[in-house]
Structure 1
Amino acid sequence: MPAKKRARKPAKRKVASKKRKPNAAFMKPLMPSEALSEVIGARALPRTEVTKKLWAYIKKNKLQDKVKRTMINADDKLRVIFGGKRQVSMFEMTKHVSKHLK
């Protein structure tokens, strides 16, 4: 005897949630240190823009490791920001950069 087919229940719809507010801490402009301002400029920027400008600098100067793309090879300007390290991971980079923002 064949199995009985069940009628499908209509899918539950999510209730439209309220529009999410942006996190003010990320949008707050911060002043870069003298060492960081040599790389990204001297004006106050939110963290998101600092990261964008830093990545633009890294890509422009081809500082990403050729084999392991998550690693960044520091030049003289970045070595000051990265605490003297020659190479840092992209995840470690934000930790070092946050020390240079006020």
Structure 2
Amino acid sequence: MMLSSRVFVSTRSFAAAATSTDLNVVGKKKGGAALIQPIKISTPLQSFLGVTEISRGQLIKKIWEYVKENNLQKPEDKRIIKCDKKLKTIFVGKDEVGMFEMSKLLNAHFINKAN
């Protein structure tokens, strides 16, 4: 008994799936605008940074620059920030802040545009 196996790959189905309109949709970037759009910030954060508006991405970058310049990372776990006097004003008096907790605490400093 002879077994015959045929595999047919239809190039037509692949070609039909990738039309030019589909490629245009796939090629567009979605989201990310919240990270680059400047937003008004609270007074304590304004005094820390010296600006009235900043994007979320730039804020995180500036905080990490400050932390590294002042050697405020825990040596055994670099994800933990040891807060000095200036950072305590931003992070509600906490002595230490984790990098994931930092984002949550900084969200409270962004002023909603509707207000």
Query: How much is the aligned-residue C-alpha RMSD, in angstroms?
Result: 2.7
Aligned length: 98
Greater Cα shift, 55-64 or 15-24:
15-24
d(CA) in 2 for partners of 1:37, 1:24 = 22
Q: TM-score, normalised by structure 2?
A: 0.69
> What pairs up with 1:13-28 in 2 under 5 angstroms?
15=18, 16=23, 17-28=26-37
1:96 has 2:105 as partner: yes
d(CA) in 2 for partners of 1:38, 1:66 = 28
1:60 corresponds in structure 2 to 69
d(CA) in 2 for partners of 1:37, 1:43 = 5
| Residue aligned with 1:80, SS | helix
- The question of whether the paired residues in 2 share the 8 Å contact of 1:39 and 1:54 is answered with no
> What pairs up with 1:1-102 in 2 under 5 angstroms?
15=18, 16=23, 17-102=26-111
| Residue aligned with 2:103, SS | helix
One-letter code aligned to 2:58:
E
Greater Cα shift, 37-46 or 89-98:
37-46
One-letter code aligned to 1:41:
G
Percent identity over paired residues: 35
Shift of 1:101: 1.5
One-letter code aligned to 1:54:
I
Which ranges of structure 1 fall in alignment gaps of 5 or more residues? 1-8
Q: TM-score, normalised by structure 1?
A: 0.77
| Residue aligned with 1:72, SS | strand
Which ranges of structure 2 fall in alignment gaps of 5 or more residues? 1-8
One-letter code aligned to 2:61:
K
Shift of 1:77: 1.0
One-letter code aligned to 2:68:
K
Shift of 1:85: 0.8
